[in-house]
């Protein structure tokens, strides 16, 4: 792990040792997704992704774990120009008008209000916005440090119907190959769960939209002002705690296809907290 590439000097001293341990564990998990992808490619004779595509990102905003958001922040700190591009993209996503209908604004989210936002379709509208890290040339701004939910696409989770990847060996348009995350030769599921079990701090256990968590990591005061001005929809700041449901595994997706589409990681939704007038997305 190339620690020198990460801005660890900006991390509170008490967290430094833990974070380096978490990042090492994340590196191992991410490597396991890479190996699983190579095995799928070998089985199908086709690459996981078609170059210059971006189809899986054009209607999909990243939802990830807080420890992954901090991991991404640490990488971006080493490349100031890319960090600025990423934070500008986060700001644009946070303040983007809704394509159809109106967002709900305010300062606090309660479990009751969250359910109303879900029922009104605001969660789905936010989830299906274009990923702010997809560049005009169809490249990903954070590809080398992207979270597990991105790495899982086409690997432990089947690609969407619009995926242009050619049909491979022993595949059909209705039957795609994917890696069983419980396979003993590469138990990706167990590795991911063990990695998350290491995390002690609630602020790293949280789940939410990566653009919101990354922006809050660097610009909490600006985010507070944007909330005061009614520029950021409440649904985009929703934070859940715990391992929950992250759409990483195909078997879990299949179990929910007959259910009402909802993000189960938010079942234990907690109100945003304030400290000195700032939004407290990070739980302590």
Could you report the per-residue pLDDT of 128-166, keeping only the tens digit for each?
999 999 999 999 999 999 999 999 999 998 887 788 999
Q: Which residues contact 93 (CB under 8 A, 6 or more apart)?
A: 61, 129, 132, 211, 236
| Residues 88-93, mean pLDDT to the nearest whole number | 97
pTM of the full structure: 0.83
Q: Phi and psi (nearest 5°) for 66?
A: -60, -35
Q: What average pLDDT is seen over the chain?
A: 82
C-alpha–C-alpha distance, residues 40 and 182, integer Å: 15
Confidence of residue 18 (pLDDT cuts 50, 70, 90): confident
Tokens 């234990």 locate to 268
C-alpha–C-alpha distance, residues 8 and 220, integer Å: 19
Total domain count for the chain? 1
Please give the residue range of the domain that contains residue 137.
Answer: 3-280
Kindly list the distances between the CA atom of residue 222 and the CA atoms of 30, 81, 255, in Å, as whole numbers in the listed order: 32, 20, 40
Query: What crossing angle do the helices spanning 220-228 and 80-94 adopt, rounded to 10°?
Result: 20
SS3 assignment, position 64: strand
CB-hemisphere CA count at 13 Å for 67?
Answer: 28
As beta bridge partners, residue 133 has none
Confidence of residue 125 (pLDDT cuts 50, 70, 90): very high
Q: How far is CA 201 from the centre of its chain?
A: 18
SS3 assignment, position 83: helix
With CA atoms as reference, report the closest residue to 239 among 109, 131, 126: 109
| Residues 235-263, mean pLDDT to the nearest whole number | 63
With CA atoms as reference, report the closest residue to 191 among 26, 17, 23, 2: 26
Q: Is pLDDT of 86 > 90?
A: yes
């Amino acid at each position: 792990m190339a620690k020198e590439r990460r801005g660890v000097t900006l991390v509170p001293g008490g967290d430094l040792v833990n974070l380096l341990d978490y990042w090492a564990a994340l590196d191992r998990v991410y490597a396991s997704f890479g190996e699983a992808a190579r095995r799928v490619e070998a089985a199908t004779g086709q690459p996981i992704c078609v170059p210059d595509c971006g189809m899986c990102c054009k209607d999909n905003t990243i939802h990830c774990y807080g420890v992954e958001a901090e991991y991404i922040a640490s990488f971006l700190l080493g490349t100031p120009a890319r960090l600025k591009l990423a934070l500008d993209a986060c700001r644009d996503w946070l303040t983007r008008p809704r394509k159809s209908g109106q967002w709900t604004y305010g300062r606090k989210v309660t479990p009751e209000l969250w359910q109303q936002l879900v029922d009104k379709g605001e969660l789905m509208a936010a989830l299906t916005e274009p990923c702010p890290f997809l560049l005009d040339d169809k490249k990903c701004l954070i590809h080398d440090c992207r979270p597990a939910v991105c790495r899982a696409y086409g690997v432990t989770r089947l690609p969407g119907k619009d995926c242009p990847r050619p049909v491979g060996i022993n595949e059909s348009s209705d039957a795609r190959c994917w890696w069983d995350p419980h396979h003993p030769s590469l138990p990706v599921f167990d590795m991911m769960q063990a990695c998350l079990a290491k995390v002690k701090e609630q602020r790293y256990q949280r789940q939410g939209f990566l653009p919101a968590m990354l922006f809050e990591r660097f610009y909490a005061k600006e985010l507070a002002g944007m909330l005061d001005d009614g520029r950021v929809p409440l649904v985009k700041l929703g934070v859940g705690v715990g391992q929950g449901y992250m759409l990483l595994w195909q078997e879990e997706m299949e179990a929910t296809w007959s259910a009402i589409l909802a993000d189960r990681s938010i079942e234990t939704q907690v109100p945003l907290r304030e400290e000195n007038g700032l939004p407290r997305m990070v739980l302590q």
